Amino acid sequence: MSDRARHIPEATVARLPVYLRSLAELVDEKIPTVSSERLAEMAGVNAAKVRKDLSYLGSYGTRGVGYDVEYLLFQMSRELGLTHDWPVAIVGAGNLGSALANYGGFTQRGFPVAALFDSDKAKVGQTIHGVEVHHTDDIAPLAKELKVGIGVIATPASAAQDAADKLVQAGVGSILNFAPTVIAVPDGVSLRKVDLALELQILSFYQEHRDLDS
Amino acid sequence: MSDRARHIPEATVARLPVYLRSLAELVDEKIPTVSSERLAEMAGVNAAKVRKDLSYLGSYGTRGVGYDVEYLLFQMSRELGLTHDWPVAIVGAGNLGSALANYGGFTQRGFPVAALFDSDKAKVGQTIHGVEVHHTDDIAPLAKELKVGIGVIATPASAAQDAADKLVQAGVGSILNFAPTVIAVPDGVSLRKVDLALELQILSFYQEHRDLDS
DNA sequence: GCTCGCTTGTGAACATGCGCACTAGCGTTC
DNA sequence: GAACGCTAGTGCGCATGTTCACAAGCGAGC
């Protein structure tokens, strides 16, 4: 590990939360150490990959023994930025937006809903799960003031790009898009998507071909 | 394209639904043909990738002109298995499961909810969005009878693996997992996951490191 | 304090995916 | 019917990601 110059590969980053969850389970079970093999089994990947992934974080294992569960959990939380809260802004106070705001596990996992936005003036002023709904025109000043780092887009597809633009303008660096459409963000802004229809269609492909090829 | 021996790469399969959506938009706008460049812009990818992806489906473009939108849309729908319905079974009739069952766009996109299952006997017999809730013990016979190809897991993490096992036993070949846990399925069964906490944690990582490195 | 079993950390081969840059070829214009 | 502009299709080198296999090294047991 070249000290500090370490750039963690994207594929690894995407797996870290899975390891984290496995480690949390092990802590619950009061298991003090874990081998890469056991962790691999829990995370549903191969052991070599676990070792390589963890090696990007530093040399936290002990040969012949394994990894200290609590210590690794702490290091990983730190690396993932989970040692402090990340206030989240949700754009779109419709079905999905409200459901997300009402979902407690959100706040509980360190992502408190700091603000809700909607373009419908009838919704502005309402309170959902203790959070007031503001107008989308106020995203920039409010999100800045509340130090929102992560924005969630829960609007219809047609409003998604506009929501993204406003979040970016507010200095939000990470966006999670639930709208079934492709949105563009400038370099340096992280973007991930959750798209139900897309997932089903991908499964449909494999299902169809399983049938054809059999 | 070597006729018929074509194995479409996973990465390509995952993009096909995005192209499909773009094509549907073009049809709505009554635009008859589209170039790889335009389609790439709409799908948020690079033009060479679009051409390579589409070439796996066959040689459906015309040099100097582009792709016939309606024809490509049809071919792609066929390839994705979207020319017929895929009955879906949802396991877990809690908040998420009910929301999914109530979400009309599901059926509308060719994935009708054929059955709902829950392990809570108090919920069995209830009707959600016109679909009766059955007990999880009845997954195997019922899912077979209803020719369910795709199963959706909307249970708590602790019940997810059991749900998956029962779906597999029922002959379901594709599973979409919403439970925040890793589940194992036999070879030949497709598995995709939707995990909110995971996505937020990944974003948190990049957010944290953007701050550190600046 | 030596040996042995066990597990990490990693070099290197292999696989997959990406994108440039070029060729093939269609349609239009003159 | 020749020439030209435009766009699909693709070969190839590069980047990323995965996996194997092995050396390094810790700790238990004697």
Does B65 touch chain A if contact means CB atoms closer than 8 Å?
A: no
Helix, strand, or coil (residue B3): coil
For A65 and C6, how far is CA from C1' in angstroms?
A: 7
Closest Cβ–Cβ partner in B199, B205, B210 for A194: B199
DSSP string for residues in A31-84 = --EE-HHHHHHHHTS-HHHHHHHHHHH---EETTTEEEHHHHHHHHHHHHT-SS
| Residue in B201, B208, B209 to test binding to A, most A beta-carbons within 10 Å | B201
CB-to-strand D under 7 Å, chain B 105-144: none
B198 to chain A, closest Cα gap in Å: 6
pTM (global) more than 0.85: yes
B164 to chain A, closest Cα gap in Å: 14
Say what the pLDDT of residue B33 is: 98
Does B140 touch chain A if contact means CB atoms closer than 8 Å?
A: no
Instruction: Please tell me what DSSP assigns to residue B109.
Output: T
The H or E element spanning position B160 is helix B157-169
pLDDT in tens, A119-159: 999 999 999 999 999 999 999 999 999 999 999 999 999 99
Helix, strand, or coil (residue B18): helix
* Pick from A66-70, B59-63, B196-200, B210-214: least confident: B210-214
pLDDT in tens, A17-73: 999 999 999 999 999 999 999 999 999 999 999 999 999 999 999 999 999 999 999
**Which protein residue has its CA closest to C1' of C10?**
A52
Is nucleic acid strand D under 7 Å from A52's C-beta?
Answer: yes
B132 to chain A, closest Cα gap in Å: 22
Q: Are strands A131-135 and A127-128 parallel, antiparallel or unpaired?
A: antiparallel
